[in-house]
Amino acid sequence: MPSAQLCLRTARGYLCSNSGQEKLLARSFSSTSRRHEINKVYPSAREAIADMKPNSTLLCGGFGLCGVPDTLINEVHAQEHLTGLIVVSNNAGTDNSGLGKLLQSKQIKKMIASYIGENKTFERMYLTGEIELELSPQGTLAERCASGGKGIPAFYTPAALGTVVQTGELPLRNNPDGTPKEYSYPKDVKVFDGKQYLLEESIKGDYALVKAWKADKLGNCQFRLAANNFNGAMARNARMTIVEAEEIVELGAIAPEAVHLPGIYVKRVIKSTTEKEIEKFTFAKGEEDIDVKAALGSGETAAKRERIVRRAAKEFKNGMYANLGIGMPMLAPSFVGPEVEVQLQSENGILGLGPYPVKGKEDADLINAGKETVTLKAGAAVFGSEESFGMIRSGRIDLTILGAMQVSDSGDLANWMLPGKIKGFGGAMDLVSNPEKTKVVVTMEHTDKKGNAKIVKQCEFPLTGKACVSMIITELGVFEVDFATGLTLTEIADGVTVEEIKSKTEAPFKVANDLKPML
């Protein structure tokens, strides 16, 4: 056997010879054309999903109808043998589009989602036991997918503490008559730095269906505007990630710093052949004029809502970062003066949200959390849903304004479910998860349509968050909430008496010594 010294001398001689250098260089893939032979582009969606099996777990990007991989979904729909699917997505499209088609064809046996929304088929199938539903707070869902893609099996989050998500009282499946048949399981709770957090397990996916703006032959992808949403998190967390791209480009056409999804996560790429859809067309009357009056309604209802919205607008302070719920909260910026500059965040991945677009200038890749068409302000940023909710949970949002069905005297909030109806959590549980840093303001009418009090001793409806609301604004007045001592009426509307407010409020409250006029 040759000695070690002889081997070293031989290697040195080999390296010093020209032929040896050429042979070594030939082993460097970057110096040859071999790398350019890698091509992940498939000729069709049918071929890209040809090996998909029934009962697979399918991760699907998109938010509303924005960034939805419709070409791939349509092909799954066409393959009738693909049944028993477990589908993970923020929502399930509409009744006749996106994942709604797979619900209609009964190819999905279970959904893991944060929101049902206006999809009546989804709601009916869940309430009558035709489909299993694991509801997850939107930020938790994004992080469960993102963490799974990073090899992290579980994590702790402050979202949903004290709700049915924690206690295991969330129905996973119902009987045909709507009564619960099977419940979720209780979550482990642990204390970090004096605060409680829930343990959530990451999600593992067999296939991920993803929509991109541009993709190259190596699978590098670029997303456009708010179409990133859940696509990046889903793409990183599946054994087989399939991307449909609006444009398939040559290597180098996407600048390295513009690659949002590196090709290492992507196995297959196809050309998208489906037109993009918009769920809610929402327009301004002019370049800078939002049609607020129309959005408020008419008559007495409009007068009540305008009073609430005008008062809510006073909570904006210069330099704030704020997140606004759908409905009345979204109208509050219209009543803010030009001297106050606020950066609006939308949980589907926008910072620097602008007004509604003028008709004809809407963009399918630009929607807000309510699926409405919007614009961006100069200096705006867009990103994935997992990063958006990281901003929220960590307390970087100064203010959130939400609607409510009920608020208790200790600041508990219920705003996601009424008996016999269910919309889902959406992002609300995350938005109220850090009340120490994010001020939570509720805007709502003082009573429901039947005249029942909405400010109560204890919420009857399932909670969105415990001890999280700092202020309640109604058409009758403004309440400050102390989580320990309860409610204090600090402002009262013109023409309203304290006695009237007491008659319409179930929860006890104190009256401030310096009770001020509202507005």
Which residues share a beta bridge with 313?
none
> Where does residue 181 rank: exposed (0-12), middle (13-18), buried (19+ CB within 10 A)?
middle
Cross-strand bridge partners of residue 492: 477, 517
Give the whole-angstrom CA distance, residue 113 versus residue 131.
Answer: 12
pLDDT computed for residue 413 by the predictor: 98
User: Does the pLDDT at position 420 exceed 50?
Assistant: yes
Q: What is d(CA 209, CA 430) in angstroms, rounded to the nearest whole number?
A: 26
By CB neighbour count within 10 A (0-12 exposed, 13-18 middle, 19+ buried), where does 246 fall? middle
Residue 245: strand, helix, or coil: strand
Residue 294's pLDDT is 64
- Residue found by looking up tokens 């702790």 in the block: 156
At 449, list the tokens: 């349509």
Q: In what order do the strands lie in the sheet with 455-456?
A: 413-414, 406-408, 455-456
Question: Could you report how far apart the first and last alpha carbons of the chain are, in Å?
Answer: 95
* pLDDT over 60 (residue 259): yes
- Residue owning tokens 């006890």: 508
Q: What is the mean pLDDT of residues 53-58?
A: 98
Q: What is the pLDDT of residue 42?
A: 98
pLDDT in tens, 127-179: 999 999 999 999 999 999 999 999 999 999 999 999 999 999 999 999 999 89
Catalytic positions, written as ranges:
347
Chain segment 376-405, per-residue pLDDT in tens: 999 999 999 999 999 999 999 999 999 999
502: left (phi over 0), alpha (psi -120 to 50) or beta: alpha
Mean pLDDT, to the nearest integer, of 50-68?
Answer: 97
What's the mean per-residue pLDDT of the chain? 91
Quickly state the pLDDT bin for 7 (edges 50, 70, 90): very low
- State residue 10's pLDDT score: 45
Q: Is the Cβ–Cβ distance between 184 and 168 less than 8 Å?
A: yes
